Amino acid sequence: MINELGRQARAAGRSLARLTGEAKRDLLVAMAVEVERRASSILSANAGDMEEARSEGVSEALLDRLLLNENRIRGMADGLRSVARLPDPVGMITGGWNLANGIRLQRVRVPLGVVAVIYEARPNVTADAAGLCLKSGNAALLRGSSYALGSNTAIGEALTAVLTAQGLPEHAIQVIEDTSREGAQALMQAREWVDLLVPRGGPGLIAAIEAEATVPFVIDGAGNCHVYVDAAADLGKAASIVVNSKVQRPGVCNAAESLVVHEAVVDEFLPAVARLLLDAGVELRGDDRARSLVSEILPATEEDWGTEYHDLIMSVRVVPDLDAAIGHVLTYGTGHTEAIVTEDVSAATRFTQDIDAAAVMVNASTRFTDGEQFGFGAEIGISTQKLHVRGPMGLESLTSERYLLFGDGQVRT
Amino acid sequence: MINELGRQARAAGRSLARLTGEAKRDLLVAMAVEVERRASSILSANAGDMEEARSEGVSEALLDRLLLNENRIRGMADGLRSVARLPDPVGMITGGWNLANGIRLQRVRVPLGVVAVIYEARPNVTADAAGLCLKSGNAALLRGSSYALGSNTAIGEALTAVLTAQGLPEHAIQVIEDTSREGAQALMQAREWVDLLVPRGGPGLIAAIEAEATVPFVIDGAGNCHVYVDAAADLGKAASIVVNSKVQRPGVCNAAESLVVHEAVVDEFLPAVARLLLDAGVELRGDDRARSLVSEILPATEEDWGTEYHDLIMSVRVVPDLDAAIGHVLTYGTGHTEAIVTEDVSAATRFTQDIDAAAVMVNASTRFTDGEQFGFGAEIGISTQKLHVRGPMGLESLTSERYLLFGDGQVRT
């Protein structure tokens, strides 16, 4: 089963690798049009999924993620159009030089081949992931949630119809019908066929992939992000950075979960910022020193320091010096985004050197770790691993590089 | 056990990450001196390993790989000195731009943290791997063969003595004493501690890592490399490229294993090149067409097309056209190095576009896929995977990148 899908994807990927940037742009625009044209059949498939999910008693939150409507269909189409407009990552020469014997060497960006995506209830991921994979010249194996299978299949059929109409291999996009646990595991272990697996889901999915996957993958992991307010911080900047990092969108991975304050400024800073956070509805959980300054702060447990709340909750730690702040961040951080607020160049230098994270901010909100903010256009995720790609993943993260060497009969002596 | 080693390595890695390029250069030079100074104790440990291996009846080939002598000790020291001279890969700014709101972004090369190396009998890998890891700012967990444990330990002690003398953490280099199968497996699955695993060994080790490792790894895989001689080849260049690719060093992964010839030139080309190859001691195994032209060619089986001989053996296939050549290479190649010999620009373009390999040569020997030839200085291996690094792996393959963002109080709106 997975071998059949994989073989078809591999063959389709070879055709996609040859497409010009123009052809890929036109393909994605046509797909956007087709998704909108088929809105009513996609919505009716989605209504079926919704009904079945409701009858199985799934949560309202999951139902909301599963739901499609006219607006969300338009969002999918707009997403395809915006990926269509991005520069083609394939064929870019990323380096080149001559060897001593005159061979001209070029390092050229190429598609990976076959990209698999395992995702949860949101059916729009089907179109998003297909667009990113095609734009980067890869065939896509899309394995969504069983709840969304009807919707995903309808969206996949729209995309496939465009492939066929343009004379392109229909298996460039395959929505996997087998949504069983075993099917997912087979996909995670199809080393012969899958060049990259991208999980789009929660901690359970990530843990399963870390434990079971044998194909290469990139993890979009947890973000237990800290804002450290240094002794030399501008406290006005600090307050707005802390509040923005926590409150602007608390459910995402680049939101701050923990505030670390130098004791030299804590008396002045903490009561003021705590007031702002409490007024914004944030629950604070702090150490004894923090609680002695602000009575509304609840006691923090050891577990709090390591928790990514994804919610309007923030832990508060008071530290005696920069070293203790760095130690705290290194102990509890997840390598996503860490920020320091300081006017002291030496403190900023120490923090940026010692903190091992995908992004380290000096005097800026943690919320800037984001593909769109970085200027990458579309974002596939934010990698918290160190190999292949770290931080926001643009289209380039779906490519590899190949060396081309042009000689005139050179041999090694 | 692995947790204790890992924790120590992680802590040591944090210190190494702060070292200047000058400090790392001096460290490796001092290690080279110390290895030479301790030559007699290293050789006596090696003599013990050799005696025990002999008493266990291991092969002469393995005994030769295990053996150290004055020359090989000097080779280790020279290797450390040559890595010492390479530019420091850490701290290099690989990109940078301003975000729309004025935040200045830099992408900076940083060490991975902890690199584990699993290797086979050669004790010199202990010094080689230690040098590469330290130069790139990483702590090293070195797990060699049980046969070489005495030698590896003696070399490790020399390196550790220099670390201690220079006030650096002794656990920056750790020779793992547990050389059991279970110990290797624990290392392969120590996701908390190992940022990259580099295997230096044969197909058995690679297969074990592909099946069992959960830590990130880079595979230095098989090279079933082809030379395709096109209808438009300069047959003089073709002959020297084929002979060089096969004969110059047949035991390595970038040696050619298979000759593919366009039928338009096979009558003229094959008898001449076969004579050169046969005279160089190469056994040829070909299809019926090849055998009809050269009586000394033995029949090739299906297995031959997929075999990396690592020896003076070469398979010979005659194809009707470029498409068939590309198809053959894609079917049987391992994505290492593939070469075309042609004077036809269109044929060269098709071949370089369609062949998915780490390196594609036009009119040059496959033997050029090599870190030193590419100008990387030291080579950790040649990656046949597509993620993180592909082709010859220089020091940069032991690093990651981190984003640093410098703001002035910016928040997201």
pLDDT tens-place string over residues B381-400: 899 999 999 999 999 999 99
Per-residue pLDDT at B121: 85
Computed over every residue of chain B, the mean pLDDT equals 96
Specify whether B197 is located in the same domain as B346: no
Q: Which residues in chain B have their CB less than 8 angstroms from residue A242's CB?
A: none
Q: Which residues in chain A have their CB less than 8 angstroms from residue B353's CB?
A: 17-18
| From A14, A353, A364, residue closest to B405, measured CB to CB | A364
Please indicate, yes or no, if residue B236 is contained in any of the structural domains.
Answer: yes
Asked whether B215 and B143 are in contact (CB, 8 A), the reply is no
pLDDT in tens, B133-161: 999 999 999 999 999 999 999 999 999 99
Confidence tier at A378 by pLDDT (50, 70, 90): confident
Asked whether A227 and A262 are in contact (CB, 8 A), the reply is no
Alpha helical stretches, state H, A333-392: 345-354, 371-374
Please indicate, yes or no, if residue A379 is contained in any of the structural domains.
Answer: no
Q: A406 and B362: CB-CB below 8 Å? A: yes
Q: Which residues in chain A have their CB less than 8 angstroms from residue B365's CB?
A: 407, 410-412
Cα(A51)–Cα(A271) distance, integer angstroms: 50
Confidence tier at A379 by pLDDT (50, 70, 90): confident
Confidence tier at A201 by pLDDT (50, 70, 90): confident
> What CATH number is given to the structural domain containing A197?
3.40.605.10
The sign of the dihedral angle between the CA atoms of A375, A381, A386, A388 is negative
Tell whether ipTM is more than 0.90.
Answer: yes
Q: B402 and A237: CB-CB below 8 Å? A: no
| From A361, A401, A412, residue closest to B390, measured CB to CB | A401
Please indicate, yes or no, if residue B378 is contained in any of the structural domains.
Answer: no
Per-residue pLDDT at B77: 97
Specify whether A187 is located in the same domain as A293: no
Query: Locate tokens 């109080």: which residue?
Result: B409
Interface test with A, best of B16, B194, B404 (most A CBs within 10 A): B404
Per-residue pLDDT at A63: 95
pLDDT in tens, A295-346: 999 999 999 999 999 999 999 999 999 999 999 999 999 999 999 999 999 9
- Residue B249, phi then psi, degrees to nearest 5: -160, 85
Q: Which residues in chain B have their CB less than 8 angstroms from residue A388's CB?
A: 387-388
Specify whether B204 is located in the same domain as B230: no
Per-residue pLDDT at B333: 97
Computed over every residue of chain A, the mean pLDDT equals 96
Specify whether B112 is located in the same domain as B238: no
Specify whether A122 is located in the same domain as A268: no
Confidence tier at B125 by pLDDT (50, 70, 90): very high
Q: How far is A326 from chain B (nearest CA, A)?
A: 12
| From B14, B356, B409, residue closest to A363, measured CB to CB | B409
Alpha helical stretches, state H, B280-362: 288-293, 302-305, 322-332, 345-354
Please indicate, yes or no, if residue B147 is contained in any of the structural domains.
Answer: yes
Q: B375 and A409: CB-CB below 8 Å? A: no
Q: How far is A362 from chain B (nearest CA, A)?
A: 5
Q: Which residues in chain A have their CB less than 8 angstroms from residue B20's CB?
A: none
> Above 90 in pLDDT, residue A87?
yes
Q: A110 and B387: CB-CB below 8 Å? A: no
Per-residue pLDDT at B267: 98
pLDDT in tens, B222-252: 899 999 999 999 999 999 999 999 999 999 9
Specify whether A193 is located in the same domain as A247: no
Per-residue pLDDT at B235: 98
Per-residue pLDDT at B84: 97
Per-residue pLDDT at B380: 86
Q: A375 and B97: CB-CB below 8 Å? A: yes
Asked whether A358 and A347 are in contact (CB, 8 A), the reply is no
Specify whether B250 is located in the same domain as B152: no
Mean pLDDT of B49-67: 95
The two three-digit tokens of residue A62, written as one number: 């999951």
> Above 90 in pLDDT, residue B117?
yes
Per-residue pLDDT at A121: 85
Q: How far is B299 from chain A (nearest CA, A)?
A: 29
Q: Which residues in chain A have their CB less than 8 angstroms from residue B361's CB?
A: 405, 407
Q: Which residues in chain A have their CB less than 8 angstroms from residue B234's CB?
A: 409
Specify whether A42 is located in the same domain as A182: yes
Specify whether A170 is located in the same domain as A196: yes
- Crossing angle (nearest 10°) for helices B345-354 and B322-332: 20
Please indicate, yes or no, if residue B111 is contained in any of the structural domains.
Answer: yes
Per-residue pLDDT at B73: 97
Specify whether A123 is located in the same domain as A78: yes
Confidence tier at A51 by pLDDT (50, 70, 90): very high
Confidence tier at A25 by pLDDT (50, 70, 90): very high
Specify whether B169 is located in the same domain as B314: no
Please indicate, yes or no, if residue A383 is contained in any of the structural domains.
Answer: no
Mean pLDDT of B318-346: 98
Q: Which residues in chain A have their CB less than 8 angstroms from residue B407's CB?
A: 361-365, 368
Least confident of B198-207, B318-327, B346-355: B198-207
The two three-digit tokens of residue B193, written as one number: 């501690």
Q: A406 and B360: CB-CB below 8 Å? A: no
Please indicate, yes or no, if residue B267 is contained in any of the structural domains.
Answer: yes
> Above 90 in pLDDT, residue A1?
no
Per-residue pLDDT at B293: 98
Query: How many A-B residue pairs are in contact by the CB < 8 A criterion?
Result: 205
The domain in which residue A273 lies consists of 225-371
Please indicate, yes or no, if residue B388 is contained in any of the structural domains.
Answer: no
Q: Where are the beta strands (DSSP E) in B112-219?
A: 114-119, 139-143, 173-175, 196-200
Q: Which residues in chain A have their CB less than 8 angstroms from residue B195's CB?
A: 386-387
Give the nearest chain A residue to B341 (CA atoms): A409
Number of Cα atoms under 13 Å in the Cβ half of residue B54: 8
> Above 90 in pLDDT, residue A221?
no
Going by DSSP bridges, is the β-strand pair B139-143/A93-98 parallel, antiparallel, or unpaired? unpaired
Per-residue pLDDT at B45: 98
The model's pTM: 0.93
Which tops the pLDDT comparison, A121 or B352? B352
Cα(A258)–Cα(A246) distance, integer angstroms: 8
Q: How many domains does chain B have?
A: 2
3-state helix, strand, coil in chain B (%, to 5): 50, 20, 30
Mean pLDDT of A178-183: 94
Q: How far is A359 from chain B (nearest CA, A)?
A: 5
Cα(A337)–Cα(A335) distance, integer angstroms: 6
> Above 90 in pLDDT, residue B221?
no
Confidence tier at B201 by pLDDT (50, 70, 90): confident
Mean pLDDT of B69-81: 96
> What CATH number is given to the structural domain containing A258?
3.40.309.10
Specify whether B135 is located in the same domain as B242: no
Q: B354 and A234: CB-CB below 8 Å? A: no
Share of chain A above pLDDT 90, in %: 95
